[in-house]
Structure 1
Amino acid sequence: MKKLVLAGFAALLMVIGTLLGAVAPGNAAADPSITAGQILVKFRDNTAAAGILRAFGLTDGPGVGSTGAHLITVPDGKELQLVDALGRNPMVEYAEPDFVVTPASDDTYFSRQYALQNTGQSFTNTAGTVTVAAGKDDADVDAVEAWTVTTGTGIKVAVLDSGVATDNPDINPKVVARTNFTTSRSNDDNYGHGTHVAGIVAATANNGIGVAGVCPGCTILAGKILSDTGAGSSSGLANGINWAVNNGAKVINMSLAVGTSTTLETAVNNAWNAGVVLVAAAGNGSNTTMMYPAAYPNVIAVGATDNNDKKASFSTYGAWVDVAAPGVSVYSTFPNHRFTLAREYNRSQGYDIGSGTSMASPIVAAVAALARSANPGATNADIRAKVESTTDPVGVIGSDWAHGRVNACKVVVAQGC
């Protein structure tokens, strides 16, 4: 009976607060299922929003993607009261908490993917022979938060690399076109590098196996530029870029490096002029030497960080490097057959870790793809600016790289990341 009386009294306070345009102070323990200090409100008429919110001492906030909802900042502890009060207004279509997102992925190795969601976890490689020490909480690209807005469905990302394995069920179904610009006999991946890179971009999420890509709704154009021994040519890369453009790529990832070439730069510029975002690895020289195609003006050059948001020891760096992304012990797909990198680096078939700016670059490419999905009318220049301007201030800005470490959430929503 006492609980009923107290509940009735609390309800009465809420009604009084609603009538007066105010809410009684909230002193209850924080609800871990909702984001503190913000709620989501969709108005039937946005011109009335300011007046409705003013009655509660609130101000309008940014829109959330294309949903029509607005993200409203509210006093901590008053989230549910304000949701209830605003929801009673006939000019409000709905009001709801901004729920906390936790990993919904049932992918086997998702907990090892600190680049997507870093909780400070430690983990091992597949064979258990390498232990990755505990990292720093939130030293990640906020991919899980970005997925509440878009997973990149409909966006093609070209992975110009060593091909993509046809026998890994986590990434093979995402490949919509393949081609081979090498002397290797098939366009399958017998080197391993391309499969790992492609999985970082778009491995299928929530399918009960393996890993999830940063852009799990994206599809892959698999251009084989590196042979089964890991060698390629600038002409092959230039052809691959042209092929990617002709097959509808919105983003091109190049986790490779060659000498500077007028032909290659022309192919890069043609792709840029066709509206494509181009991304490339800055290199693993632990120096400031410019690498190509990353150093071309129309390519986003990517350096690498670790799971503590520190510059990777091997990463090429300098003001010419545009952004950074996790590139140390990144978990992703590998071929389910014998491949060269397995022998060279003792990596397991199917899934394992890989390190290098080669692993950081596809994360940035996938973030750019999410940005394209969330902003369908934006130009490639707009997307590049968005990716670079929404980075987190990691590393020594202006010395390690021009901007910071990319943040997928910030490229698709205005705030709350």
Structure 2
Amino acid sequence: MKISILRALSVALIITVFSCSKEDPSTTLPDTEAVALDQNEPLTIPEINRIIENEIELNGDFDWNAVPELVLWSALQHADGVLTVGYGKDKDDFTINDSGRQTSSKLAIVEMVRTLEGKGRSTTDKDEDILIYEDEYLTVIDLKVLQRETIASLRRNADIRYMEPSGYSYFQTVTEKSALSDSGCGFDTEDISSNDYTTISPNARMPWNFPLHHIDDAWALSTGTGITIGVVDTGLSPNQPLLNANFNNGDSSGRTVEKYGVYVDSFWPWSRKTDGPNDKCGHGTSMSAAATAPRNNTGLPVGVAYNSNLISYRASSDVLLNGYQEQKGVAKAITDLGRRNDVHIISMSMGYIYSINRIKDAIRYAYSRDKLIFCAGGTSTSFTNFLGVVFPASMSETVAVTGIEEGSGYDECDACHKGSTIDFTIIMERGNNNHIPVLGYYSGSEDYVGGSSVATANAAGIAALVWSKNPSWSRNDVLNKLKISAELYPNRSSSYGWGNLDALKAVQ
């Protein structure tokens, strides 16, 4: 997530304000043992959230499939009834293959819901009231479900892989929504200290951490030519020419930038109109810049893979995937990038406090098509330090990256997470708390960004250098080279994985 030098933001890849403070006895939520799971009234949001929190603290994740029927049904009452259903004969049957079994399963599920929800079955309008959305490539549908009987019947269906209330938001209070509305966002510009960059030809500013990872030395062998990085984030600023019309500037040439928008800015689940590819947050612009900004002649920061192609997706309004439209947008962006043969690397510096199955399906789909997927390990404040690596960096199909402080040894950055599923680290925080210089949102501007977000974008850029040097390699070849050239290899830290990436060793 983006952290400006002013530190105006207190939330990032995951938010840290709980609905009730665990340290305040007057607001303590009821224990899960006190909830009657056979009651007829739905649980309250605080009761559901306490169950979620307890499960995360115990097992490091939360899964709607594992909760009692009452909990799932209750969540739907607070979620506009939006139920996401993953169907298929088993957990690996997540890609549509035009089989008769898949079609039959889907139609049977929709018919069951239509009947039990009492919508009738004769008109198209009423069918649309039930079937909100049908994924084009994944065995995933969104349905309108409010009846507890429907949940019970669906759970007995062997062709359902999972069900989750996509419209349910863990953060639902007025205070939380106000904080979340700008999670990770900011349009700040900062004057970069001369101590935090080196001027290189033709007149670009190289961030202070690049030499620490030998990125500048690696450029003699590779600059990312021929490799395409897809950034799934909040979009790309239309006001930063170096990421638009002047993407080929200075020593950057012969490459392309594409922009897409798949985020629907609406609370209405049936809405389909996206709000376009432009960044309305600032985070996506910063991440794209950290990975691919040109080696320019305008005196502004350069990105790691300054000759790589860029595909930017506006998939969310901010970095916390806390709503139905954001989760659907991210899943679509990852699936779209997975389908493209020219995409090599996907970089995603966003996430959530627990797993989202439709995004899992999308990541597994992209992974099956040889994409190297980098995800941020987590950025937060002290309130969520008990959490380890967040979703989707916690998945085995992703490469989890976190940020550490400059200096000897390994110390996580002030707002970064660590854990056993971290794969690599990037140095991105100085002793004076300055972070990484990147292009700003506006023409001629620059800014500092931090957290595991910028670490992830830097790591994706290093991977592009390696793949460009070895264009015939597979994803696993590239990942293995990153691993064996990292600082801690052949040892693996329980908190920092293989440690700091070394770009020069990786491209040699």
Normalised by the length of structure 1, the TM-score is 0.62
Identical columns (%): 22
Q: Indicate conservation of the 8 Å contact 1:170/1:209, yes or no.
A: no
2:319 matches 1:319 = no
SS at structure 2 position matched to 1:378: coil
Gaps of 5+ in 2: 1-197, 248-255, 266-274, 430-434
The Cα of 1:242 is off from its aligned counterpart by: 1.3
The Cα of 1:371 is off from its aligned counterpart by: 1.1
**Equivalents in 1 of 2:282, 2:447: separation in Å?**
11
Q: Indicate conservation of the 8 Å contact 1:159/1:198, yes or no.
A: yes
- 1:382 pairs, out of 471, 477, 491, with 477
The Cα of 1:230 is off from its aligned counterpart by: 6.7
The Cα of 1:335 is off from its aligned counterpart by: 1.1
- 1:301 pairs, out of 392, 397, 400, with 400
2:210 matches 1:109 = no
2:280 matches 1:190 = yes
2:325 matches 1:205 = no
**Equivalents in 1 of 2:336, 2:209: separation in Å?**
30
- Larger Cα-atom Rg: 1
Match of 1:373 in 2: 468
- 1:152 pairs, out of 224, 238, 241, with 224
Match of 2:30 in 1: none
2:331 matches 1:238 = yes
Residues 286-295 or 403-412, more deviating: 286-295
Per the alignment, do residues 370 and 108 of structure 1 end up closer, same or farther by CA in structure 2, a change over 3 Å counting?
A: closer
Match of 1:18 in 2: none
2:484 matches 1:412 = no
Gaps of 5+ in 1: 1-101, 118-139, 338-348
**Counterparts of residues 234-313 of structure 1 (less than 5 Å):** 234-247=327-340, 248-258=342-352, 259-285=354-380, 286-308=385-407, 310-313=411-414
SS at structure 2 position matched to 1:189: coil
Match of 1:42 in 2: none
Match of 2:143 in 1: none
SS at structure 2 position matched to 1:327: strand
Instruction: Output the amino acid matched with 1:224.
Output: R
Instruction: Output the amino acid matched with 1:321.
Output: I
Per the alignment, do residues 108 and 411 of structure 1 end up closer, same or farther by CA in structure 2, a change over 3 Å counting?
A: closer
Instruction: Output the amino acid matched with 2:441.
Output: P
The Cα of 1:375 is off from its aligned counterpart by: 1.2
**Equivalents in 2 of 1:262, 1:230: separation in Å?**
16
**Equivalents in 1 of 2:230, 2:394: separation in Å?**
19
**Equivalents in 2 of 1:143, 1:320: separation in Å?**
25
Match of 2:440 in 1: 334
Q: Indicate conservation of the 8 Å contact 1:104/1:206, yes or no.
A: no
**Equivalents in 2 of 1:251, 1:228: separation in Å?**
21
Instruction: Output the amino acid matched with 1:253.
Output: S
Instruction: Output the amino acid matched with 1:294.
Output: A
The Cα of 1:299 is off from its aligned counterpart by: 0.3
SS at structure 1 position matched to 2:389: coil
Residues 284-336 of structure 1 deviation map (CA, whole Å, 9 limit, x = unaligned): 24445231111110100001012326431321111211111133311101211
**Equivalents in 1 of 2:389, 2:302: separation in Å?**
32
Instruction: Output the amino acid matched with 1:203.
Output: A
* RMSD of Structure 2 on Structure 1 (CA): 2.3
Q: Indicate conservation of the 8 Å contact 1:107/1:212, yes or no.
A: no
SS at structure 2 position matched to 1:279: strand
**Equivalents in 2 of 1:291, 1:193: separation in Å?**
18
**Equivalents in 2 of 1:151, 1:409: separation in Å?**
11
Q: Indicate conservation of the 8 Å contact 2:276/2:314, yes or no.
A: no
**Equivalents in 2 of 1:318, 1:228: separation in Å?**
24
**Equivalents in 2 of 1:103, 1:384: separation in Å?**
31
SS at structure 2 position matched to 1:352: strand
**Equivalents in 2 of 1:230, 1:301: separation in Å?**
17
2:458 matches 1:363 = yes
**Counterparts of residues 28-67 of structure 1 (less than 5 Å):** none
| Paired positions, count | 276
Q: Indicate conservation of the 8 Å contact 1:287/1:317, yes or no.
A: no
The Cα of 1:168 is off from its aligned counterpart by: 1.2
**Equivalents in 2 of 1:176, 1:199: separation in Å?**
12
Q: Indicate conservation of the 8 Å contact 1:279/1:299, yes or no.
A: yes
The Cα of 1:208 is off from its aligned counterpart by: 3.0
The Cα of 1:236 is off from its aligned counterpart by: 1.2
Per the alignment, do residues 152 and 108 of structure 1 end up closer, same or farther by CA in structure 2, a change over 3 Å counting?
A: closer
**Equivalents in 2 of 1:301, 1:178: separation in Å?**
25
**Equivalents in 1 of 2:461, 2:418: separation in Å?**
21
The Cα of 1:169 is off from its aligned counterpart by: 2.3
Q: Indicate conservation of the 8 Å contact 2:420/2:495, yes or no.
A: yes
Residues 296-305 or 169-178, more deviating: 169-178
**Equivalents in 1 of 2:242, 2:486: separation in Å?**
29
Normalised by the length of structure 2, the TM-score is 0.51
2:258 matches 1:177 = yes
Q: Which structure exhibits the higher relative contact order, with contacts defined as CA atoms closer than 8 Å and separated by 6 or more residues?
A: 2
Residues 183-226 of structure 1 deviation map (CA, whole Å, 9 limit, x = unaligned): 24331112110111011101100423311111101111001112
Instruction: Output the amino acid matched with 1:291.
Output: V
**Equivalents in 1 of 2:214, 2:507: separation in Å?**
11
Instruction: Output the amino acid matched with 2:217.
Output: E
2:312 matches 1:222 = yes
